[in-house]
């Protein structure tokens, strides 16, 4: 073969390599990943989801592709973002970042597309699945306990700041679990002799104005509802509370890490690892209807001793001995 012909052959073969790689990439199964949160605030749960996928042998970019959409706390965008993912012909649809993602996505995702969720609350009451053991249709997922935990937050806050006669409860009224959480919190606060002030916030401006109200109402301690928008706004919330010397409790560990007094609730990383595991099983051919909804049962109590000292509070020995993590 002449040298010129050999060069042409090599060049033509090289030109086909990218096309071959693209074809191989297009042939990989595609996961549509929807979250109500922002990508910058979701690094921990995204990493946990990928760990769960890897347990089933799936690695993004190698034998599976992940197409993501994030609502950045703007819940009204979720249906349109879900539709975008469905238009990409995804093999599995994943809804995470709070209860609202699954609730908003369910009417958009056709029954022909398997859907796997991670959410708080009761997926049966919210109409996501028919039952926990037999989900039905093409939907299953991970349910982590948040309903009833509002009362636990009241009890925890009572132990940490027993002299705080007026408690604040910050909620996002757009969250599907908000009404039930408020009812639970009001009953628990009344039983322990505390006045409860409800603060509603679904925007940054509303968070700011709510703290003005808290100041006027004499709120002396605060717990924050388990909700994705408020979780992503935790640094703003903690900063505003610190200005008024208000101790803060949440269900999410990241609050305590960033300066809240304590947190007690379900491990989001564990729930999203399980979400990855279930997604992998669906990719391997298991029907969602044959996968019972998993209830994540890992709970963490985190205490921030540094914050307690700043606020002049003493943490009871009983809480110290039961804490999973103490930040000093």
The CB density around residue 71, as the number of other CB atoms within 10 Å, is 25
Q: pLDDT-based confidence at 19, cuts 50/70/90?
A: very low
Give the residue numbers spanning the domain of 170. Answer: 149-266+300-327
* Cα–Cα dist 246/125, whole Å: 35
Mean pLDDT of all residues in 50-69: 97
Q: How far is CA 122 from CA 100, 128, 146, 248, in A?
A: 12, 9, 9, 26
Residue 181, H or E segment: helix 178-191
The CB density around residue 26, as the number of other CB atoms within 10 Å, is 9
The CB density around residue 87, as the number of other CB atoms within 10 Å, is 9
Mind listing the pLDDT tens digit for each residue in 67-119?
999 999 899 999 999 999 999 999 999 999 988 999 999 999 999 999 999 99
Say what the pLDDT of residue 5 is.
Answer: 54
Answer yes or no: do 309 and 293 share one domain.
Answer: no
Q: How far is CA 139 from CA 71, 72, 89, 106, in A?
A: 21, 24, 17, 9
Say what the pLDDT of residue 136 is.
Answer: 85
Mind listing the pLDDT tens digit for each residue in 235-275?
999 999 999 999 999 988 899 999 999 999 888 888 999 99
Say what the pLDDT of residue 6 is.
Answer: 44
Most confident of 10-19, 117-126, 146-155, 239-248: 239-248
Residue 9 has pLDDT above 80, yes or no: no
Q: pLDDT-based confidence at 148, cuts 50/70/90?
A: low
* Cα–Cα dist 273/7, whole Å: 50
Strand partners, 326: 303
* Cα–Cα dist 98/144, whole Å: 10
Domain total for the chain? 2
Answer yes or no: do 122 and 188 share one domain.
Answer: no
Closest C-alpha to 177, from 102, 262, 272: 102
Closest C-alpha to 299, from 248, 249, 253, 261: 253
Answer yes or no: do 230 and 322 share one domain.
Answer: yes
Closest C-alpha to 26, from 74, 55, 64: 64
Q: What's the half-sphere exposure (Cβ side, CA atoms, 13 Å) at 54? A: 9
Look up residue 170 and give its two tokens. 């910050």
Answer yes or no: do 100 and 131 share one domain.
Answer: yes
Mind listing the pLDDT tens digit for each residue in 303-324?
999 999 999 999 999 998 999 9
Residue 28 has pLDDT above 90, yes or no: yes
Q: What percent of the chain is predicted at pLDDT more than 90?
A: 76
Say what the pLDDT of residue 120 is.
Answer: 82
Answer yes or no: do 248 and 308 share one domain.
Answer: yes
Mean pLDDT of all residues in 128-156: 87
Q: What percent of the chain is predicted at pLDDT more than 70?
A: 91
Which CATH number goes with the domain that contains 284? Answer: 3.40.50.2300
Answer yes or no: do 101 and 168 share one domain.
Answer: no
Contact 154/160 with Cβ under 8 angstroms? no
Answer yes or no: do 181 and 35 share one domain.
Answer: no
pTM > 0.85: no
Closest C-alpha to 217, from 169, 148, 147, 285: 169
Residue 13 has pLDDT above 70, yes or no: no
Q: pLDDT-based confidence at 17, cuts 50/70/90?
A: very low
Helix axes 268-283, 43-55, angle to 10 degrees: 40
Say what the pLDDT of residue 23 is.
Answer: 43
């Amino acid at each position: 073969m002449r040298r010129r012909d050999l060069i042409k052959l090599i060049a033509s073969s090289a030109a086909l390599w990218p096309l071959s790689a693209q074809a191989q990439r297009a042939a990989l199964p595609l996961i549509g990943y929807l979250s109500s949160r922002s990508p910058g605030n979701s690094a921990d749960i995204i990493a946990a989801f990928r760990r769960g996928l890897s347990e089933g042998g799936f690695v993004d970019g190698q034998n599976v592709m992940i197409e993501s959409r994030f609502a950045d706390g703007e819940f009204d965008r979720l249906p349109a973002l879900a539709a975008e993912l469905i238009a990409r012909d995804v093999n599995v649809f994943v809804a995470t970042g709070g209860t609202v993602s699954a609730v908003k996505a369910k009417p958009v995702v056709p029954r022909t597309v398997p859907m796997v969720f991670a959410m708080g609350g009761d997926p049966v009451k919210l109409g996501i699945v028919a039952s926990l053991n037999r989900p039905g249709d093409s939907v299953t997922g991970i349910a982590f306990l948040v309903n009833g935990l509002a009362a636990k937050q009241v009890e925890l806050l009572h132990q940490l700041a027993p002299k705080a006669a007026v408690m604040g409860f910050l909620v996002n009224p757009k969250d599907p679990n908000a009404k039930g959480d408020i009812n639970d919190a009001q009953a628990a606060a009344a039983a322990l002799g505390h006045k409860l002030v409800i603060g509603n916030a679904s925007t940054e401006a509303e968070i700011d104005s709510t703290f003005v109200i808290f100041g006027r109402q004499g709120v002396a301690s605060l717990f924050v509802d388990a909700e994705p928008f408020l979780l992503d706004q935790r640094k703003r919330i903690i900063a505003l509370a610190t200005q008024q010397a208000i101790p803060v409790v949440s269900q999410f560990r990241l609050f305590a890490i960033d300066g809240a007094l304590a947190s007690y609730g379900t491990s989001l990383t564990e729930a999203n690892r399980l979400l990855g595991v279930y997604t992998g099983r669906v990719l391997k051919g298991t029907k969602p209807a044959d996968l019972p909804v998993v209830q994540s049962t890992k709970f963490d109590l985190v205490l921030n001793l540094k914050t307690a000292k700043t606020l002049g509070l003493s943490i009871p020995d009983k809480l110290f001995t039961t804490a999973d993590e103490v930040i000093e």
